[in-house]
Amino acid sequence: MQYSQPLLDDIRAAVDIVDLVSRFVNLRKAGSHWKGLCPFHAEKTPSFTVNPRKGIFHCFGCGVGGDAFGFVMRQDRLSFPEAVRALAKTAGVALPDERGAKSGDSGREELLRVMDLAGHFYADTLWKPAGERARAYLEERGIDTEIARHFGLGYAPEGWESLLTFMKSEKVAEEALIATGLAVARENRAGAYDRFRGRLLFPIRDLQGRAVAFGGRGFGDEQPKYLNSPETPLYTKGNLLYAADLARPTIQSQNRALLVEGYVDCIMAHQYGFTGTVAALGTAFTPAQLALLRRYCDEVVTFFDADAAGQKAAARAEELLEPTGRGMAWAVNRSGAFEGAGTLRVKVALLPAGHDPDTFLRSVGSEAFTERIAAARSILAYALDRALVDPDGATGPRARTTAFARVALLLAKVADGDEAAQLSREAASKLGVDPTQLWIEAQRLQSSLRTPPAQSRPSPPASTAPVERDLVTLLLHSDEARATLLALLGESDELGQPSLRAIVEALRHRPDATAESLMTDLPTDEARSVLSSLLVEDRESVDARVSIGQFQRRLERSQRLRRAREASQAIAEAQAKTGVAAPMHAELRTLHKESAVVYEITGGVAQSLEHGTSTSPRSSDE
Ligand SMILES: [Zn+2]
């Protein structure tokens, strides 16, 4: 289905791109733009730029860019029609009749619809008589009705086909149920059965609040105690954090996330007012989850029971410090300051032995919980404690030397420069050494540990001749330039770069279009990225008239050169066929005339023109 240009413009105008991007990226205002860490590649200094006025984003690190549609397509892996529908819905723009428009779907929308239906079915069941057992369990765990509804908790009834029967009435195909992991195909005969039976269900939602998986808790001796959705096209383990959709606004406003382990810990924290809490959905905290939090805040506080804290924190810290390609970062710059800001600091809040956030909140309360958070200590400090102590319990000069080496290695892996500096001072005083000495050793190690940037970063797009970019930028921003120059740009063969050619072609088709609305006319991601790079930073208002004049002369010159070349080629071909006396008067005249004009335009330096096409018009024309 083709959407009309005015409709696309309406949707684009109605979507606040800063708002849209902010749901995934922690944006900060920088002049008239917003900047943040790119969600499409790993980086530590923000090069992801959003221009709210034009509705365009562009990353100067990996070169990706586009408009709201492009952002949603990339972020949610949607097809273009899906992105249009999703944004139309957000923006409240009505779409023309949708029947028969499903052909552009990737199938993902149907799976999301199935998950949504299932979520409602399970939630409804929880509050019906059939859900009594689950409601009793919620009461026993102290989970309020209101918060249970807020988290969309549900109950999967007993029986093998409860959900299947309901879905049949909703005309959902069995294959879709199997694809979402809600049903399991029978092994020896046709058909399927419900995966979740007689369990309390916790919907796992993506950042837009759409259910993509379920976690199911049994009440009695059922094994396993927790049964989760398998990986599906909608759900990859370790990529999401439980309750991230609900917690995000608080995480962003407090610039801090609270990280717990279980569903109930998370729900209880929200119930007690700690609404910036997410759960890791598994015992290990994955790099993908870290990256997700890093987009929204600078600090994460996690909770450990006092007994286990030291060991667990140190182990967790070592996981975090593993060089995963984006691991190590700090470096001392020439002025002696630390670089490597924008990294996530992970802290540990201690809870009394035997407690988790759920039991602590219910027995001690929210005030004490707040105090524990305030007293949280860097997770690296635990790792440092461990590095300082000899594993064999040895003391003396030799043990001190190996402790020194262990600490230096640890410091070398710490991504945050300030944190590394603070830890090195702490360690130096404990070891009784000079902090500078320790610091130098850590730097030396760091440079040998650091992964080469070429392997950890996608390469930026090949650079294009600046003069070509200048010309296209001018065309995008000035109607006058379009009127004067578009006709002179023959078949756009003055432009070597295919993406720039595509932009000029799009302009040629719709010379009245606003620059940003050309986004949906472009054929490739690469062209969209180039367009966004030209639009995202507002051009300083150079004197358009002067530039137009310069480009006009330049283009006229190359047009004439082209004609002269064509003429001389025609002459050469004709001569090859019929001999030197071929009657080529018209062509000869053209050649003669065009060459003369070219020579005149350029003040008699015609021979340099053939090589001058990549220099700026200012330098070659004046
Ligand atoms: Zn990027």
User: Which of 311-325, 506-520, 568-582 has maximum average pLDDT?
Assistant: 506-520
The Cα–Cα gap between 49 and 532 comes to 10
- pLDDT of 222 over the 50 cut: yes
Ligand 1 centroid from CA 416, angstroms: 21
pLDDT category at 390 given cuts 50, 70, 90 is confident
Ligand 1 centroid from CA 377, angstroms: 32
Residue 578 has a pLDDT of 63
When the pLDDT of each residue in the chain is averaged and rounded to a whole number, the result is 79
Residue 491 has a pLDDT of 61
The Cα–Cα gap between 355 and 367 comes to 16
Nearest to 19 by CA among 89, 68, 76: 68
pLDDT category at 123 given cuts 50, 70, 90 is very high
User: What is the bridge-based pairing of β-strands 33-36 and 28-30?
Assistant: antiparallel
Beta bridge partners of 201: 154, 216
Q: Which carries the bigger pLDDT value, residue 326 or residue 530?
A: 530
Ligand 1 centroid from CA 46, angstroms: 9
Side-chain-side CA neighbours of 513 within 13 Å: the count stands at 22
Residue 30 has a pLDDT of 83
Ligand 1 centroid from CA 31, angstroms: 20
Please list, in sequence order, all residues whose beta carbon lies within 8 angstroms of the beta carbon of residue 612, skipping any fewer than 6 positions away.
620
- pLDDT of 592 over the 70 cut: no
- pLDDT of 353 over the 80 cut: yes
Token duo for residue 240: 């999401």
The Cα–Cα gap between 75 and 59 comes to 14
Please list, in sequence order, all residues whose beta carbon lies within 8 angstroms of the beta carbon of residue 522, skipping any fewer than 6 positions away.
502, 503, 506, 528, 531
- pLDDT of 160 over the 90 cut: yes
For the segment 281-300, the average pLDDT, to the nearest whole number, is 75
Token duo for residue 563: 């004609």
pLDDT category at 327 given cuts 50, 70, 90 is very low
Total residue count of the chain as it appears in this document: 622
Ligand 1 centroid from CA 164, angstroms: 43
Please list, in sequence order, all residues whose beta carbon lies within 8 angstroms of the beta carbon of residue 348, skipping any fewer than 6 positions away.
301, 302, 303, 304, 309, 313, 376, 377, 378, 379, 382
pLDDT category at 618 given cuts 50, 70, 90 is very low
Strand order in the sheet with 56-59: 28-30, 33-36, 48-51, 56-59, 65-67
Which amino acid is present at 96? Answer: P
Ligand 1 centroid from CA 59, angstroms: 5
For the segment 361-365, the average pLDDT, to the nearest whole number, is 96
Residue 404 has a pLDDT of 82
pTM: 0.61
Ligand 1 centroid from CA 459, angstroms: 10
Calculate what percentage of the chain has a pLDDT beyond 70.
78
Instruction: Tell me how far the alpha carbon of residue 41 is from its chain's centroid.
Output: 7
Residue 337 has a pLDDT of 39
Residue 320 has a pLDDT of 63
Ligand 1 centroid from CA 38, angstroms: 4
Side-chain-side CA neighbours of 337 within 13 Å: the count stands at 4
Residue 67 has a pLDDT of 92
Ligand 1 centroid from CA 344, angstroms: 18
DSSP string, 367-418: HHHHHHHHT-EEHHHHHHHHHHS-TT---SHHHHHHHHHHHHHHHHH---HH
Range of weakest confidence among 125-134, 410-419, 431-440, 610-619: 610-619
CATH architecture assigned to 5-91: Alpha-Beta Complex (3.90)
For the segment 121-129, the average pLDDT, to the nearest whole number, is 96
Which amino acid is present at 464? Answer: T
Token duo for residue 392: 């064999």
Task: Give the alpha-carbon dihedral of 120, 122, 125, 130, to 10 degrees.
Answer: 170
Residue 588 has a pLDDT of 64
107-237 sits in which CATH class? alpha beta
Range of weakest confidence among 207-211, 363-367, 414-418, 477-481: 414-418
Please list, in sequence order, all residues whose beta carbon lies within 8 angstroms of the beta carbon of residue 192, skipping any fewer than 6 positions away.
164, 174, 177, 178, 183, 184, 185, 186
Token duo for residue 421: 């500096």
User: Which of 52-61, 102-111, 453-462 has maximum average pLDDT?
Assistant: 52-61
Spell out the domain ranges in the chain.
5-91, 107-237, 298-457, 466-542
- pLDDT of 153 over the 90 cut: yes
Ligand 1 centroid from CA 41, angstroms: 5
Q: Which residues have their alpha-adjacent CB atom under 5 A from ion ligand 1? A: 38, 40-41, 59, 61-62
End-to-end CA distance of the chain: 51
- pLDDT of 15 over the 60 cut: yes
Ligand 1 centroid from CA 47, angstroms: 7
Identical fold between 5-91 and 107-237: no
Ligand 1 centroid from CA 236, angstroms: 22
Ligand 1 centroid from CA 82, angstroms: 23
Side-chain-side CA neighbours of 15 within 13 Å: the count stands at 30
For the segment 232-237, the average pLDDT, to the nearest whole number, is 83
Ligand 1 centroid from CA 233, angstroms: 24
What does the pLDDT look like over 485-541, one tens digit per residue?
A: 888 876 656 677 888 888 999 998 888 888 888 988 888 888 998 898 888 876 655
Ligand 1 centroid from CA 205, angstroms: 25
The Cα–Cα gap between 256 and 451 comes to 28
Residue 332 has a pLDDT of 42
Residue 463 has a pLDDT of 53
Ligand 1 centroid from CA 477, angstroms: 25
Peptide bond connecting 224 to the previous residue in cis, omega within 30 degrees of 0: yes
Residue 287 has a pLDDT of 66
